Amino acid sequence: NAGVTQTPKFQVLKTGQSMTLQCAQDMNHNSMYWYRQDPGMGLRLIYYSASEGTTDKGEVPNGYNVSRLNKREFSLRLESAAPSQTSVYFCASSEGGAYYNEQFFGPGTRLTVL
C-alpha cells in the first residue's frame, strides 16, 4: 500500500497563478483532509471531506477550493496564489465514522508563492 500520496512535492508560483494539488489514498478511507503547516502555528485545517460527495470548510478556507473526485482522490486548488499561501500542504485521510480514528498523512507539498 502506498498510503497517502501527494503531487507535486515542490512548487514555485508567481502571485496570481493557479495550481491544483493532488492527493490520493489507497486505504479505502471515507474522510479526507487538507492542512497547511506554518512555522509556530501547527497544522490548520483548510477543507475536509467527511465522505465521497461532501466537502466542508475548515479553519482557513479563504483562497482555496477543493474537489472530492471520488473516494480515493481529494484535490486542493489555489485559483489566484498569494504570498500568504506559501506553506507546506498536507493531505490526510481517516476511516471516518468515529471521531477517535487517527489520520494518515501524505508526505506534503512545499509551495512557495513569489
Partner 1 sequence: AQSVAQPEDQVNVAEGNPLTVKCTYSVSGNPYLFWYVQYPNRGLQFLLKYITGDNLVKGSYGFEAEFNKSQTSFHLKKPSALVSDSALYFCAVRDRTGGYQKVTFGTGTKLQVIP
- Does 19 bind partner 1 (CB under 8 A)? Our answer is no
The DSSP secondary-structure symbol of 83 reads: G
Residue 68 C-beta: closest distance to partner 1, Å: 13
* Measured CA distances, 26 to 33, 52, 76, 95 (Å): 15, 14, 18, 12
Query: According to CB under 8 A, which one of 25, 29, 31, 36 is a site residue for partner 1?
Result: 31
List the interface residues with partner 1, window 84-103 (CB under 8 A). 90, 92, 96, 99-100, 102-103
Query: According to CB under 8 A, which one of 14, 40, 53, 62 is a site residue for partner 1?
Result: 40
**Is 41 in contact with 83 (CB distance < 8 Å)?**
no
